[in-house]
Structure 1
Amino acid sequence: MTGKTHLALGLVSGAVTATAIDPAQSLNEATVTILVSGTAALLPDIDDDNSTVNKILFPFLPEGLRSWVLAALGGLVVLFFILRDWPLWTLLAGIYALCVAFADHRGFSHSLLAFVFVVWTSYLASPMIAPAVAVGYGSHLLADAVTAGGIPLFWPWSKRFGLRNLGLKIPTGGGVDRWFYKVSLMGTGVIFTYLVYRRVMEEGLAAFGLFG
C-alpha cells in the first residue's frame, strides 16, 4: 500500500479504537488516539529512505543520508540511556532505530517481532497510547499482507505471507489501494464527526442539567 493509504487506514483504525475502548473518553483523548494510530501506521516503512515517514522526519536530508542519521539518532539514544539513566523505553526505541536504519524494505519492521517490540516500547512510554500504536502498526502489516509482495511475518524467517499465498496479488498503488484510501478517509470523517456531535450534545444537555 502507498504511504497515504497506510495513513488513512491508521486514522480510521484509531477512530474505531477511540469509540470502542472507552466511549466516555473526551474528544481530546479520542483525537490523540486517532493521531497516534495514524502515525504508528507509517512507522513500519521507516526502513525505506523514500517512504512517507522518512520524508516527514527528515524532509531536508537527501535520501542517502536518512538511514545514517536515523542510525546516529538511535545510537545517541542508547548512549544517553547508559550515561544518563534514561527510562527503558528510550533504549528500546534506540535499538529499533538501529535495527531498521539499514534493513531491507519489508524486512524486520514488517514482522510480528517488530510489532510486539514497538507496542511494548509504547506501553512502557505511556500505557494510554499503546492500544493506538498497536492498531496503527497492525493496520500497516495487514495492509501490506494484502499486496503482492506480502510480509515476512515470522522474520528472521524470510518466507512472506499474505493473500499471495492464496493466489491473489494486489499491486501497490492500484485500484484496490486507492479504494482503501478513500473508504478509510471517509470512515475517519464519519466517526470523528460523530465524536464531535456527541461531545456537543453532552455539553448542551449538561448546560440544561440533563447530563452529568
Structure 2
Amino acid sequence: MRSTMKRLILLFTASVALLGFGATLAWADQVIQAQTAQAGSQAVYTLEIHNETGVDHSYQLAVTGLQDTLTATFVQDGPLLESITVPANGYGQISLRLDVPVDTPVGHLAGQFVATRDDGVTLANPLALTVENTYALKITGQTSNVNAFSGQEFTFETTAANSGAAVVTNLALKVDAPAKWLVQLNPPLLDSLAPGQ
C-alpha cells in the first residue's frame, strides 16, 4: 500500500512537472509536417504554437537541418517574423515559407521547425520537403486524323508549354511521317522556353 501510494505521488508529481512547461505545438509529437514543391517554387507550412501557461510568452522561430540553399521565412498575416508572442492560455498561428531554388536536387529533405520560448523552453517538430522535377513540358496539338491526297499540303499547329520551374532550351519537335512525305517544322528549333510560356 505504501509503495503504491509512493508511486501515485511520483506519477502525480511528474504530471505536474510536465504540465508546468505549458507550451505545445498544435500537432502530436513526431507527426511530420510534409510538403511537395517543384524546384524554383515555394513550399508553405501552416503552424500553430499553443501557450498553456498563465502568462504571455515570446517564441524565437527557426528551421534547422535543411540545406543552406533553401530560404526560410515566417509570416503572420503578411509581415515577416523572427519571433511571435503568444498570449496566456492561447495560441499563435504562423506560416513557414521555404523558397526552393531552381537548382535544388530532386528528392526528399528533412528538417525541424524550432520555437524557443523566452524562458528557454524549446519546442521542436520534424518537417519534410519533397522536391519534384524542375522541368515540365506539355505539348498539345490538333487531331492527328487527317484525310490527305497526293500533292496536297496541310498544316498542323502544335503548342509546347513550359509548366516547370526552369527554362527549357534547344526544344525541337520530332515528327514521324509516312514514307515519301515531306515535313517542315516552323520553327525547326526553339532556343529557349521560359517557365509559364
TM-score, with length taken from structure 2 = 0.22
Larger proportion of strand: 2
TM-score (norm 1): 0.21
Specify which structure has the higher proportion of helix.
Answer: 1
Rg comparison, structure with higher value:
2
